[in-house]
Amino acid sequence: MHNSVWAPWRLEYIQRAKSGECFLCAILESDDARESLLLNRGALASTVMNRYPYNGGHLMVIPNRHIADFEELTADEQIAISTQTQKAIRILKKVIKPDGINLGYNLGSAAGAGLKEHLHQHIVPRWNGDTNFMPVVGETHVIPQSLLTLYDQLKPYFDTENPD
């Protein structure tokens, strides 16, 4: 039996005209953190919500510097990304309680990078039964919640030093 997941927010991503502007840099330059879905801005790395998520709570941790290659990260940027990732995972576990989490980078177009010019690490919450990303979907647990509602739930935790 083949199941489908209704995710109309992904269509905007698929059909949108590619402006050439780095949307991650635009988020970092925005004056409206909520509208741009910026959860946390550190000195070297930041955490943003994915506007076109695969699952509810799909976040990205990015270096603040516009770079494409993982090997160009400085040691301090690597630590900052790791620290932001740990904080994001703790918050997701507390707020939306996933059964697991996928972490990963898509480096280059062949690896599936939708934006290959600005390095970003995906944090994708997973639930038992939503098996192996989207192509092989069993009983997928989809959070029926708008991005801004989830943003409002997550943001207070990102604003504290210790989210536990």
Is 122 part of the annotated catalytic residue set?
no
Of the residues 2, 120, 122, 141, only one is catalytic, namely 120
Tokens matching residue 20: 């050439």
Tokens read off for 80:
């900052």
How do the domains of the chain map onto residue ranges? 21-158
Residue 98 CB-density burial (10 A; 0-12 exposed, 13-18 middle, 19+ buried): buried
Q: What does the chain come to in residues?
A: 164
Looking at residue 11, its pLDDT comes to: 55
Predicted local confidence at residue 12, as pLDDT:
54
d(CA 63, CA 81): 7
Please tell me the predicted confidence (pLDDT) of residue 72. 95
Instruction: Say what the pLDDT of residue 79 is.
Output: 97
Contact 151, 38 (CB under 8 A): no
Residue type, 26: A
Residue owning tokens 């990260």: 73
Please state, in angstroms and rounded to a whole number, the distance separating the CA atoms of residues 4 and 2. 7
pLDDT of 123 reads 96
Neighbours of 13 (CB within 10 A): 13
CATH 3.30.428.10 fits 21-158, yes or no: yes
Please identify every stretch of the chain with a pLDDT value under 50, giving residue numbers as ranges. Answer: 1-4, 10, 13-14, 133-141
Residue with tokens 């000195």: 43
